[in-house]
Amino acid sequence: MTAKAADGKEVFKTERHYHPQATNCKDNKMLYGAQVKTQYIRDTSLQPFETKAESFEIPLPEGVRAVDVTVSLTYEINKPDNKIEIFKVTRKVALDR
């Protein structure tokens, strides 16, 4: 998710990663590769019949009264540059009515 001010400057950017994460149980370093993965240490994947809810609070810098917020949900296949953008929502959000 990113929020940009009127001049295009990025005010805020953050990511959430949804997937099961495994180690080899010998240390706490996450690993990829079936030949070494041994046990999940954490699972943040999307579960059936469950809602994954997030609430992002973005404090605005001095003088900025409105931002363009972009929320993008992407599926990465094996490597970050092989991906599918499932949804992209862009919205102008202002402090003033």
Partner 1 sequence: MRIMLLLLIAAVVVMPLSNVEAQKAKSIDELAKMFDSSQCKSCHAEIYAQWENSHHARSLMGVQDGLMMTPLAKKGSTPFSPDDPKKATLKTFPCFKCHLPQAVAHAEDSFAVEYAEALLAGDKAKVGKLKITCIVCHNEKAIIHKLSDGYPEKGVLYGSKDIASHPDATFKKVKKSQIMDHAIMCGQCHGLGPNLEFENPVQCATLYGSYEHNYLSKGGQQQCQECHMQKINGKADHLIAPNWNDLEGTKKLLQNAIAMDVQTVGYEWLRKGGDLRPMIVVNTKINQNAGHRIPDG
Q: Is the dihedral of CA 33, 38, 40, 46 positive or negative?
A: positive
Partner touching 41 among ligand HEC, partner 1, none, CB below 5 to 8 Å by kind = none
Question: Whole-angstrom Cα distance, residue 54 to residue 14?
Answer: 12
Which pair of structure tokens corresponds to residue 45?
């994947």
- Nearest CA to 16 out of 61, 56, 68, 47 is that of 56
State yes or no: residue 78 binds ligand HEC (CB under 6 A). yes
State yes or no: residue 34 binds ligand HEC (CB under 6 A). yes
* Residues near partner 1 (CB under 8 A): 1, 3, 12, 18-20, 22, 24, 33-40, 43, 45-60, 64-67, 69, 71, 73, 75, 77-78, 82, 84-87, 89, 91, 93-95
